[in-house]
Amino acid sequence: MVTLISSINGIKNYCSFNSTKLYQRVFIKRTSSSNTKIPDVKRIRNFSIVAHVDHGKSTLADRLLEITGVIKPGTEHAQVLDQLQVERERGITVKAVTASLNYTHNNEQYLLNLIDTPGHVDFANEVVRSVSACQGVIMLVDANEGVQAQTVAVHSLAKRNNLLIIPTLNKVDLPRANPDKVKSQLKTVFDIDPATVLSISAKKGWGVEELLQAVITRIPPPIVKLDDHFKAHIIDTWHDKYRGVLCLAYIHSGKVRIGQTVKWRSGSKQHTVKFLALLRPQEEPIEEAGAGQVIMVGCGPKGGGSVGDQLLSIDCADTGDAITVAPVRHMVYAGVFPADQSQHTQLSDAIKKLALNDSAVSVTPDSSPALGQGWRVGFLGLLHLDVFTQRLLQEYKAEAILTAPSVPYKIKVKGSKIIKQYKGEEVIITNPLQLPDANNIAEYYEPLVIGTIITPVEYIGAVTSLCIDRRGTPLPSNAVDDRMTMLQYILPLSEVVVDFHDTLKSITSGFASFDYQDYGFHPSPLIRMDILLNGVLVEELSTIVHVSRLEYNARRLTEKLKEMIPRQMVQVAVQAVVGGKVYARETIKAYRKDVTAKLYGGDVTRRKKLLKQQAEGKKKMRSVANIKIPRNTFIDVLKK
Ligand SMILES: Nc1nc2c(ncn2[C@@H]2O[C@H](COP(=O)(O)OP(=O)(O)OP(=O)(O)O)[C@@H](O)[C@H]2O)c(=O)[nH]1
């Protein structure tokens, strides 16, 4: 438990956060205070902190919370905005969380809405959503590490969204910090004037007050109309046991009050606003809020709300010009199954709730002869997948089995019957089993990304070999300074998602950084490879591979299966085939595994117990042509 102490209008409020339960914010008793007053738009600043992983966003957010009186200076409330257990354990930010802070500058009271954003590439859509409510960003760069791949990504995101950038060097307290060098990197890579760069130590609090002043003087207030119809855009949602869906909303125009009748843009039903609050980051209930503010709003258990939707006053007819956030593109898919079918309902419930909070996942029902009824879930990347399963377990106590991740492909089908069957010519394939016969496929497409790598010059050779080996196409490279270079490659997503980042880190002793952005689907010579056991197709093991990888993958998969499938009563032929042609074959010799052999028939009860255990184990196996395959095989064999 973390205890927060906040000072609201001179009254000290004590509030507890349970870090294991996201957003179950303690509902503070309504105080008869002036906080119901709608702030003057000119005194609102909505901003975000963006940076490469570990450059200090959360630490800076803590300092800002201290300076504005939300937490006591020097207390052990590190990383208040990282509320998820997984965030604290992994030291990464997953969800964007908001804090509305009061700050006085030149005797004027300002409302600063700070939106903490995740740093990892997998959570880029959370970043996009949070910046959609901002007018400026603090771009933090570690004064020791310098510009990294993700700094390039967040800078271009801010530019694309016309946000004012406050370039800020962090960790200047470190003995090896070299602010001048990093300033010249910023000039070379982004053409940032060194005179505009601030230097701070988020850890020690140095320069943070000046940074807050820069937020007020450099970032413009939101441009909104207070006297127009109420219109708000939902940037996040979460579920509350008692109050239903609660939303984080940015108000574009007009005002909203408790008790007001509203509607969702996506529906025609009317709802009543039941909950309104500022997040500081704990809830501070308010009666009314106005354009330019970022607030929490809820319409009760049946009131609904989803990310990207708009909440409107009932007389609001104009709904066309809100911020549109690009739809989420799922980069990685995996099958999610209950460890035991009896836990299906519980897991289903947990997935539903988590999907509401983590709107970036896509969930569709799936079933497999080996793993039973489950779901095919789309993720933004592997870390996202990992975090999702960890949250299922930690926050909802739901244990899930995950199949090996794969990327989506696209095909163009031919033949009027097939086009009708697939409801169109172009089809996204998230599971190789969805592929029609090869004769009906006119073209295959695979997803590509533009990968940005910033590496010390001495590793250029190793990084280039890695990228070429992963079927990369080089783009022009740029020097960051005399020691670091920025390389860019067009890479197939399938070659990136599994272990590219880890391999890159290991070949560069951890010095290179990597980020990627979607480059869309492009034609590619792909093929479906099947696995046969004694001539019988095992559906779950079919994969889509690039023709240049066919022989290698065929050998690797058959060898791995030979290792993973226990010997059977009969000899088993493991074959990797494409359209009837065998590309690799392994043989598992016949053998009867007698678990009681070592007991010499001595202790009958022990012998019986072991035989029973063996029988139980067999129940957990999938049987193909009388061959028993352990369930784990289906989960592990496709992993690298
Ligand atoms: N010496 C020093 N260390 C700092 C400073 N700011 C942050 N750190 C440390 O750097 C590490 C990363 O800081 P975080 O605030 O977690 O970084 P982050 O950018 O929020 O990380 P993500 O949420 O994963 O993107 C932590 O160990 C901090 O204590 C600083 O000014 N000086």
Per-residue three-class SS string for 2-15 = EEEEEEECCEEEEE
Q: Is 512 exposed, middle or buried (0-12, 13-18, 19+ CB in 10 A)?
A: buried
CB of 496 closer than 8 Å to CB of 516 = yes
The verdict on 516 and 537 lying in the same domain is no
Q: State the Cα–Cα distance between residues 41 and 53, nearest whole angstrom.
A: 32
Q: State the Cα–Cα distance between residues 210 and 233, nearest whole angstrom.
A: 31
Nearest CA to ligand 1 atom 13: 56
Q: Which atom of ligand 1 is nearest to the CA of 55?
A: 19
Q: State the Cα–Cα distance between residues 457 and 631, nearest whole angstrom.
A: 45
CB of 527 closer than 8 Å to CB of 441 = no
The verdict on 153 and 56 lying in the same domain is yes
pLDDT of the residue at 399: 78
CATH number at residue 280: 2.40.30.10
How many angstroms separate the alpha carbon of residue 589 from the centre of ligand 1? Answer: 55
Nearest CA to ligand 1 atom 11: 54
pLDDT of the residue at 143: 97
Q: State the Cα–Cα distance between residues 497 and 428, nearest whole angstrom.
A: 18
pLDDT of the residue at 328: 66
pLDDT, tens digit (0-9, with 9 covering 90-100), for 412-446: 999 899 999 999 999 999 888 888 988 999 999 99
**Which residues in the chain show pLDDT less than 50?**
1-34, 76-77, 91-96, 322-323, 325
The verdict on 489 and 580 lying in the same domain is no
Q: Pairing state of beta strands 44-51 and 136-142?
A: parallel
What is the residue-wise DSSP string for 372-408? Answer: EEEEEEEESSHHHHHHHHHHHHHHH---EEEPPPB--
The verdict on 177 and 77 lying in the same domain is yes
Q: Which atom of ligand 1 is nearest to the CA of 92?
A: 24
How many angstroms separate the alpha carbon of residue 436 from the centre of ligand 1? Answer: 50
The verdict on 72 and 208 lying in the same domain is yes
Q: State the Cα–Cα distance between residues 20 and 93, nearest whole angstrom.
A: 14
Q: Is 114 part of a structural domain of the chain?
A: yes
Q: Is 435 part of a structural domain of the chain?
A: yes
The preferred substitution site among 59, 60, 150 for testing ligand 1, maximizing ligand atoms within 8 Å of CB, is: 59
Q: How many domains does the chain have?
A: 5
How many angstroms separate the alpha carbon of residue 194 from the centre of ligand 1? Answer: 23
Q: Which atom of ligand 1 is nearest to the CA of 93?
A: 23
The verdict on 275 and 415 lying in the same domain is no
CATH number at residue 88: 3.40.50.300
3-state class of 328 per DSSP?
coil
Q: Is 296 part of a structural domain of the chain?
A: yes
CB of 531 closer than 8 Å to CB of 576 = yes
CB of 529 closer than 8 Å to CB of 554 = yes
Q: State the Cα–Cα distance between residues 514 and 455, nearest whole angstrom.
A: 9
Q: Which of 78, 73, 84 is nearest to 57 (CA)?
A: 78
Q: For residue 184, how many other CB atoms are within 10 A of its CB?
A: 17
How many angstroms separate the alpha carbon of residue 56 from the centre of ligand 1? Answer: 3
How many angstroms separate the alpha carbon of residue 49 from the centre of ligand 1? Answer: 12
Nearest CA to ligand 1 atom 24: 92
pLDDT of the residue at 279: 86
Q: Is 320 part of a structural domain of the chain?
A: no
Q: State the Cα–Cα distance between residues 42 and 222, nearest whole angstrom.
A: 8
Q: State the Cα–Cα distance between residues 600 and 598, nearest whole angstrom.
A: 6
pLDDT of the residue at 29: 32
Longest dimension (CA), the chain: 90
Q: Which atom of ligand 1 is nearest to the CA of 82?
A: 23
How many angstroms separate the alpha carbon of residue 58 from the centre of ligand 1? Answer: 7
Nearest CA to ligand 1 atom 7: 56
* Residue-range definition of the domain harbouring residue 418: 410-524
Binding residues, by number, are 51-58, 116-120, 170-173
How many angstroms separate the alpha carbon of residue 171 from the centre of ligand 1? Answer: 8
SS (H, E, C) 452-496: EEEEEHHHHHHHHHHHHHCCCEEEEEEECCCCEEEEEEEEEHHHH
How many angstroms separate the alpha carbon of residue 59 from the centre of ligand 1? Answer: 5
Q: For residue 31, how many other CB atoms are within 10 A of its CB?
A: 14
The verdict on 448 and 516 lying in the same domain is yes
Domain endpoint, select from 246, 280, 313: 313
Domain endpoint, select from 524, 556, 574: 524
Q: For residue 612, how many other CB atoms are within 10 A of its CB?
A: 10
The preferred substitution site among 54, 80, 95 for testing ligand 1, maximizing ligand atoms within 8 Å of CB, is: 54
Q: State the Cα–Cα distance between residues 321 and 318, nearest whole angstrom.
A: 8
pLDDT of the residue at 122: 57
Beta carbons within 8 Å of 32's beta carbon, 6+ residues apart: none
- Which element (helix H / strand E) includes 621? strand 621-624
Q: State the Cα–Cα distance between residues 275 and 249, nearest whole angstrom.
A: 12
3-state class of 263 per DSSP?
strand
Q: Which atom of ligand 1 is nearest to the CA of 174?
A: 1
CATH number at residue 603: 3.30.70.2570
Nearest CA to ligand 1 atom 9: 56
Q: Is 324 part of a structural domain of the chain?
A: no
Nearest CA to ligand 1 atom 12: 54
pLDDT of the residue at 3: 28
Residue 283: half-sphere exposure toward Cβ, Cα within 13 Å: 21
The verdict on 376 and 487 lying in the same domain is no
Q: State the Cα–Cα distance between residues 611 and 602, nearest whole angstrom.
A: 14
CA dihedral (483, 486, 492, 493) in degrees, to 10, reads 90
Q: In 235-270, which positions are buried (b, 16+ CB within 10 angstroms) versus exposed (e)?
A: bbbbbeeeebbbbbbbbbbbbbebebebbbbeeeee
Please provide residue 142's backbone torsions phi and psi, each rounded to the nearest 5 degrees.
-65, 120
The verdict on 205 and 74 lying in the same domain is yes
How many angstroms separate the alpha carbon of residue 57 from the centre of ligand 1? Answer: 6
Q: Which of 200, 257, 255 is nearest to 224 (CA)?
A: 255
Helix 500-507 to helix 460-469 angle (10° resolution) is 160
The preferred substitution site among 58, 81, 139 for testing ligand 1, maximizing ligand atoms within 8 Å of CB, is: 58
CATH number at residue 393: 3.30.70.870
Domain endpoint, select from 377, 405, 433: 405
Q: Is 38 part of a structural domain of the chain?
A: no
Q: Is 120 part of a structural domain of the chain?
A: yes
Q: Is 538 part of a structural domain of the chain?
A: yes
Task: Find residue 489's DSSP bridge partners.
Answer: 451, 474
Tokens 């244990």 -> residue: 399
Q: Which atom of ligand 1 is nearest to the CA of 87?
A: 23
Q: State the Cα–Cα distance between residues 81 and 87, nearest whole angstrom.
A: 9
pLDDT, tens digit (0-9, with 9 covering 90-100), for 52-80: 888 998 889 888 888 888 766 665 445 55
How many angstroms separate the alpha carbon of residue 199 from the centre of ligand 1? Answer: 15
Q: Which atom of ligand 1 is nearest to the CA of 140?
A: 19
Q: Which atom of ligand 1 is nearest to the CA of 201?
A: 31
Nearest CA to ligand 1 atom 27: 54
The verdict on 278 and 140 lying in the same domain is no
The verdict on 190 and 229 lying in the same domain is no
CATH number at residue 419: 3.30.70.240
Q: Which of 2, 20, 3, 31 is nearest to 278 (CA)?
A: 31
Which runs of E-coded beta strand occur in 53-207? 97-105, 108-116, 136-142, 164-170, 198-199
Find the angle CA(561)-CA(567)-CA(568) to the nearest 5 degrees: 115
Task: Find residue 244's DSSP bridge partners.
Answer: 240
How many angstroms separate the alpha carbon of residue 103 from the centre of ligand 1? Answer: 24
Length of the chain: 640
Upstream peptide bond of 39 is cis (omega within 30 degrees of 0): no
How many angstroms separate the alpha carbon of residue 146 from the centre of ligand 1? Answer: 14
Nearest CA to ligand 1 atom 14: 56
| Cα 486 from chain centroid (whole Å) | 25
- Which element (helix H / strand E) includes 544? strand 543-546
Binding residues for GTP, by number, are 51-58, 116-120, 170-173
The verdict on 208 and 80 lying in the same domain is yes
| Ligand 1 first shell, C-beta below 6 A | 51, 53-59, 91-93, 119, 170-171, 173-174, 201-203
